[in-house]
Structure 1
């Protein structure tokens, strides 16, 4: 089951890790994505820390870590094919993170609450 942030990220638990991407709504708002800079694997991050740079023809934006933890993997194909985010934002994940203290996504929005947010 997916969870969502107010920053338009989707989160999916996979064992003791969380997979993170941006929502289709965020992709549509950005327009054509032309550049993505991902964090280093092994980097320790704090919740709310800007860790991904994403640039489109319309704007530059940052993606923040939804939880504190360690980056365990990045989608290595994205920097070479940033348009994949526009093609299918829900499958073009950015990074995996192992949260400090274990996975707890209960504080994030479900799909209905996210749909209310974006109206």
Structure 2
């Protein structure tokens, strides 16, 4: 799995999960140029108040809050079924790389 894959989303993934509310949540979470990360992936960033978004979209703030809570990032992650790369596994990999590098350095010193 690519580094950071747990935290980014493609538009297709979001449309599949969010369905009818995709346009609204595109505004809430900046599924636009602002939220574009890299390789067509988006990071969910809320930088506007829910009050402003609700007013612009002619819905009540309570309705928007309920929709946002229902669709919270934990719910999104559960629906997507992606898993985080455990930090322990990353550290283990880094230690292995460091160990191999040190062994290669020692072997080169014996050649001299």
Q: TM-score, normalised by structure 2?
A: 0.23
Please say which structure displays the higher CA radius of gyration: 2
Higher RCO (C-alpha under 8 Å, 6+ residues apart): 1
The structure with the greater share of residues assigned to helix is 2
